[in-house]
Amino acid sequence: MHENIEIFLNRCRACAAFQENMEKMVELFCEKNVSEMFTNCTSLEISSHDYLPSRICFQCYENLTNLNKFRQGCLNSDRFLREQV
């Protein structure tokens, strides 16, 4: 693999930070819910075939899971409040 391509693929898909050790990253397409969370929280359509990095760093993963929890809470609250009207 060409060095520039390797460096590109070792970047976080969310923050673009370089990670020397790819084992310290979370694969977006390994589990369905990670890629779904990413799309739901960012409105970005991602694909395992788009030739862009397919991993995110642990910090972005933590941010993503927290944002997803917040989003789900807001959706649940909205649903509850609308049922009360």
Which amino acid is located at 22 in the chain?
A: M
Residue 14 burial (C-beta neighbours within 10 Å; 0-12, 13-18, 19+) = buried
41/65 Cα distance (integer angstroms): 9
3-class state of residue 32 by DSSP:
helix
Q: Give residue-wise pLDDT tens across range 13-24.
A: 999 999 988 888
- Count: domains in the chain: 1
Domain ranges, residue 43: 3-84
What pLDDT score does 61 carry? 97
**Binding-site sequence positions for Zn(2+):** 12, 15, 57, 60
24/85 Cα distance (integer angstroms): 47
Among residues 5, 9, 13, the alpha carbon closest in space to that of 46 is found at 13
For the chain, what is the mean pLDDT?
Answer: 92
The CA-based diameter of the chain, rounded to the nearest angstrom, is 60
What pLDDT score does 5 carry? 77
**Binding-site sequence positions:** 12, 15, 57, 60
CATH number at residue 42: 3.40.1800.20
What mean pLDDT comes out for the span 53-70? 96
